[in-house]
């Protein structure tokens, strides 16, 4: 189970934090680290020293340009956030997240990403809206933001606790393959194109439409097969859309 949990750090600016994250992960038995557009050199004397023996995770970290690349194959993406945002999103508490993991990771090809933001500005709204749920570590509301490696430590600990307590998943119900992040993103792009083509959505006046449809869809946890049906409907809808002047 722990092998299928990826820690994703976006735009990290201090190598020491990357080392601290590697240490926290290795302490808890996690090994899959992805760095999205880091704003520092990941492997430095500082990061290696803060990793204190877990620097193989820093050396082995996958460095990518976008969040999409980091989580394309994940079936559940959870964003860690110190603050609440304008459009409320499904929230899950750290312990409840851990408790959900054994079942969540039981199916074939299931993979979970925990996404952490920049030291200075956290995650953007666009990044948070690419997550199925948000996790907030309950802290002093007057001083809510943890150090990045400390935040990873808390959630990695919850993953480990859940793994230690793991009960064998019930076998009767064969789990259907859930859609991956990449499949969901293709669906959202297709949906937006279609809604524009039929004149339902005006990108100049977005009114949070796509964010609300994202929240709704992600809450439903669609299976791959269900998403294929929706995409089939979109393709047929596109064929019926009136030709555009600029086409």
Token pair of 96, please? 């409840």
Report the phi/psi class of residue 95: left, alpha or beta, with left for phi > 0 and alpha for psi in -120 to 50.
Answer: alpha
Among 83, 95, 219, 221, binds ligand SAH (CB under 6 A): 83
Binding mask 140-179 for ligand SAH (x = CB under 6 A): ----xxx-x--x----------------------------
The least CB distance from residue 146 to ligand SAH, in Å, is 4
DSSP 175: P
Among 139, 176, 208, 235, binds ligand SAH (CB under 6 A): 139
* Phi, psi (rounded to 5 degrees) for 79: -100, 135
Token pair of 81, please? 């956030």
The residue range among 21-29, 47-55, 131-139, 170-178 that interacts with ligand SAH, by the rule CB under 6 A, is 131-139
- Strand order of the β-sheet with 76-80 is 62-64, 32-36, 5-10, 112-116, 76-80, 133-135, 91-92
Among 117, 129, 156, 234, binds ligand SAH (CB under 6 A): 117
Residue 64, helix vs strand vs coil: strand
Distance of CA 140 to the CA centre of its chain: 25
Binding mask 52-81 for ligand SAH (x = CB under 6 A): ----------------------------xx
Q: Does 217 bind ligand SAH (CB under 6 A)?
A: no
Q: Does 22 bind ligand SAH (CB under 6 A)?
A: no
Considering beta carbons, is residue 84 or 176 the nearer one to ligand SAH?
A: 84
Best CA proximity match to 67, nearest among 126, 147, 141, 142? 126
Q: In the complex, which residues of this chain contact ligand SAH (CB under 6 A)?
A: 80-83, 116-117, 119-123, 135-137, 139, 144-146, 148, 151
């Amino acid at each position: 189970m722990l092998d299928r949990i990826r820690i994703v750090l976006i735009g990290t600016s201090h190598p020491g934090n990357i080392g601290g994250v590697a240490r926290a992960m290795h302490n808890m038995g996690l090994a899959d680290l992805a760095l999205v557009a880091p704003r520092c050199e990941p492997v430095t004397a500082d990061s290696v020293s803060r990793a204190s023996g877990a620097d193989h995770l820093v050396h082995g970290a996958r460095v990518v340009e976008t969040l999409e690349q980091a989580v394309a194959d994940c079936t559940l993406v959870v964003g860690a956030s110190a603050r609440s945002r304008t459009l409320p999103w499904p929230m899950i508490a750290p312990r409840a997240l851990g408790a959900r993991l054994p079942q969540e990771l039981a199916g074939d090809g299931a993979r979970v990403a925990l996404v952490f933001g920049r030291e200075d500005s956290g995650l953007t709204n666009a990044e948070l809206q690419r997550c199925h749920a948000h996790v907030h570590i309950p802290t002093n509301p007057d001083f809510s933001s943890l150090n990045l490696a400390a935040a990873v430590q808390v959630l990695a600990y919850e993953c480990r606790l859940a793994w230690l307590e793991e009960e064998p998943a019930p076998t009767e119900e064969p789990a259907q393959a859930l859609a991956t992040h990449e499949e969901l993103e293709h669906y959202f792009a297709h949906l937006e194109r279609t809604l524009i083509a039929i004149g339902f959505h005006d990108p100049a006046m977005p009114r949070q439409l796509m964010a609300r449809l994202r929240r709704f869809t992600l809450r439903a946890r669609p299976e791959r097969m269900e998403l294929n049906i929706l995409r089939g409907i979109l393709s047929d809808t596109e064929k019926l859309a009136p030709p555009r002047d600029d086409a």
